[in-house]
Amino acid sequence: MATDPICGMFVDERSAELRLVRENRTYFFCSSHCLEEFSRPELELARLRTKLLVAWPLAVAVAVLTYIAPFPLWPWVALLLAGVVQFYPGLQFYRSSWEAIRGRNWNMDLLIAVGTTTAFVYSALTLLPASRLPSAIYFDASAIIVTLILTGNYLEHLTRERARGALRRLGELLPARASVLRDGVEVELPLDALRVGDRVRVRPGGRFPVDGAVLEGRSSVNEAALTGESLPVVKAPGAGVLAGSVNAEGLLLVEATRVGGDTALAEIGRLVTEAETSRVPLQQLADRIAAGFVPLVLVLAVGSALLWAFLGAGLTIALLAFVSVVIIACPCAFGIATPAAIVVGTGRAAEEGILFKGRDSLEAASRVDLVLSDKTGTLTLGTPTLSEALPAAGVAVEELLRLAGALEAGSEHPLARAVLRATSARGLVLPSARGVRAEPGRGVRGDVAGQEVAVLSEAAAREDGVDLREFLPALARLSASGRACSVVLRGRTPIGILGLEDEVAPGARDAVEALRADGIPVVMVTGDNEAAAKAVASAVGIAEVHAGMTPGAKLALIRRFQSEGRSVAFVGDGINDAPALAAANLGIAIGAGTEVAREAGGVILLRSDFRGVALALRLGKRTVSKVRGNLSWAIGYNAVLLPVAMGAFVPLFGVRIFGVLPIVGALAMAFSSTTVVLNSLSLRRVSLTGASRGRAEGRPPAHTR
C-alpha cells in the first residue's frame, strides 16, 4: 500500500492505474482529481516514459523474431507484440493524425500513422489462411518506427520540462522573511508585507529582501548573481543595494525603495518570461516536408489502385498497388532521418559536456552568425586570483605574503581567499594573528608577531592618508589593466601592494579563434568596468567590447543586432544573464554558472570551458546539415521507387511484379535506413581541430561590427 501524496488516502499499488514517476520516486493516486494537482508537462513525461518501457522491449523482440524466425508460429507472436506497440504506445499518432485531418495540417504524425498502420495491417492480412497476398511481413518496421519516434518525443519533452525551472530559481535568492524596523521596534515580516520606505536590517551573510539605499553601516556586498561582477562591492551610506544580493561583512540598515514585483530581480524574471513567450517556435523541417509529401503519397496510392482496378487487373492487384505505394513511402528512413542525426550529434556533444535542449536549439545553433559573451565566469574563471605581489624596497615577497596571509586566514572574503591560495602555493607557514578586526568595505587590521598590520583597499589607504608615492606607477598600471589593488601596511608604512585579477579562462582565446575561423565574430558584453573588460578582450582576441551593461542594456543590444538581421548566440553564467540568454536566438549557459542561467539557456556547457561554445555551434551546423541530407536521401529514394510501386515496370514484367514489390520495398527501406544511419554517424568525427567547414567551402566569414 502507498499513500496518495495529495489527499493522504491509501492506494493499492498493484491495482492503481494513476501514477507518476517524479524525482526518482513513483507516486500512486486514488483519483484523476489528485493527478490534476501535478502539472500537465509532468504527466505527459510520465505517460511517455511508461509507453517507452512497453515499446522498446517489444520492438526489439519483434525485430529478433523477424530476422531469426526461431519457431513455426513466430509470425503470430510478432503480430501480437507489434499490435501492442501499434495500438498502445502508437495510439498518440492516431490522435494526432485525427487532429491534423480536422485542422487540415498534414504533419509527420499522419505520415507515421498511415505508413505503420498499412505495414501492420498488410502483414496481418498475409497471415490469414485464405489470403492470396504475397507473404511479406513488416511488423518490425511498424514497431521500430513507433518506438524511435516516441523516444525522440520523450527526450524533447524532458529538456523542455527542465527548462521551465528557470523562473522558480529566482525566488530562491530572496529570504523568506525580513527584519524591519516599525515604530523603533525590529519585527520579522514576510516579504509581501514590506512597503516602500520600510527600514530593513540585513546582517552579515544575509540576503537583501528589497532594492534600497544604505542608511547606516558599511559592508562589502556580493552582487555576482545579479551583475556578474566577481568582486564584492563596497556599500556605504547612500549606496544602492539589490534584492537577492548577499551582505558579506557588516550590519547594514537599508531603506526600501522598491519591493516585491518592482525590484530588479523581479524585473529580470519578467524579462525572461517576455523573451521566452515572444519567441516563435521553429517549425520542424520534417513536418514542413510532410505537409506536401503525405497528401501526395495518399493520392498516388489511391490513384494507382483505382487505375489498375479500372484496367481490369482485379481487386488483389489493386490492393497490392495501394500497399506497395504506402509501404515504400512508409517513413522508415524519413522517420529516422532527423532523430538519427540528432542522437549522434547530441551524443557527440554530451561527450564534450555540451547539452542541447531539444531540436530548436540545434537548429538555432546552425544559424548563429554572431556570439555575444559575458566576461566574468565565461571568458574568465570567475574567481579572483593574486596576480602580483609588489613589496617595498627592503621587504621580501615572502614576508609581504606571510603578513597579509596571517590577517586573511579567518576570512571568507574572495580577495582573502586569493591571498591564501597564493601563500599555500608557495608553501609559506603563516604566523598567528591576534585582535583581527574587519573593517567592512575597507579591509582588515590586526596584530601579527607583535606588529600592527593592515590589508586595506587602495581607496581606504588614501582615506587614511597613507603615503603611496613609491607605488603610484604600479597602482596606475594595475588600475589601467582592470585589476583590484590591496595595500599592506606595517604600522602606517606601506610595505607592498597586492594585485588581484579574474584570470582569463584556459582555452578562451582558442575558442574565439575557432569561432572566427567558422565565420562567427565574438563581442564582449559585460557589467564590469571598461578597463577590466578591455584587458580581458585583448587577452582573448575580441575587438568589440560593451562594458558597464545592465541586464536590460544587454537585452536591448541583442535586439538591436537581431533587428539588423543577425542570428545571435549569447554566452553567460549569472542570473543577470538570464534575460539575455532567453532573448538571444540561442542562449549558451556555462555550467559553473547559476541554475537560472543554466535553465534559461538553450545550450548548457557542463564544463566551464569557452571552447565548448565553438564546438556547440559547429556541431549544430553539422547536425542540421546531416538532417537535411538524410531527408533529401529519404525523399530521393521515395521519388525513385514510388513510380515503380505504382506499376511503372508492368509493361516489361507484367502485373506479376506486384507480387515482389512489397519485398523490394522492404529491402529498399533497409538500404535507405542504413545510408541515413551511416551519414549520421559521420558526426562522431566533428571537433575543433582542422579547418572549419565554412572555410573549406569558401564562404567568407561574417564581418565584425
Say yes or no to pLDDT of 362 above 60.
yes
At 192 the pLDDT is: 87
- State pLDDT tens for residues 74-85: 889 999 999 999
At 433 the pLDDT is: 87
- Among the listed residues 494, 410, 486, 490, the one whose alpha carbon sits nearest the alpha carbon of residue 448: 490
How far from 372 is each of 97, 250, 518, 597, 610, CA to CA, in Å? 41, 36, 15, 15, 12
Catalytic residue among 109, 198, 360, 374: 374
- Say how far apart CA 40 and CA 457 lie, in whole Å: 54
Name the most confidently modeled range: 237-241, 279-283, 643-647.
Answer: 237-241
- Say how far apart CA 574 and CA 224 lie, in whole Å: 7
| The pairing of beta strand 233-235 with beta strand 380-391 | unpaired
- Say how far apart CA 583 and CA 638 lie, in whole Å: 40
At 493 the pLDDT is: 92
Lowest mean pLDDT among 201-215, 256-270, 286-300, 384-398: 286-300
Q: Which amino acid belongs to residue 338?
A: T
- State pLDDT tens for residues 588-638: 988 655 555 556 667 878 777 889 899 999 988 988 888 888 878 777 777
Is the entire prediction scored with pTM above 0.95?
A: no
At 373 the pLDDT is: 92
Q: Whose grid coordinates read 565565420?
A: 519
Say yes or no to pLDDT of 523 above 90.
yes
Helix (H) or strand (E) holding 517: helix 508-517
At 57 the pLDDT is: 94
- State pLDDT tens for residues 184-230: 889 999 988 999 999 999 998 899 999 999 999 988 888 766 655 65
Say yes or no to pLDDT of 697 above 50.
no
Mean pLDDT over 389-395 rounds to 89
Residue 515 cell numbers, joined: 569561432
- Say how far apart CA 260 and CA 125 lie, in whole Å: 67
Task: Give catalytic status of residue 374 as yes or no.
Answer: yes
- Say how far apart CA 547 and CA 554 lie, in whole Å: 10
Per cent of the chain over pLDDT 90 is 21
Q: What does the DSSP 8-state code read for residue 357?
A: -
Residue with the bigger pLDDT between 173 and 220: it is 220
Average pLDDT value over all residues in the chain: 78
| The pairing of beta strand 544-546 with beta strand 211-216 | unpaired
Q: Which domains does the chain have, with CATH numbers?
A: 2-38 (no CATH), 174-266 (2.70.150.10), 382-504 (3.40.1110.10)
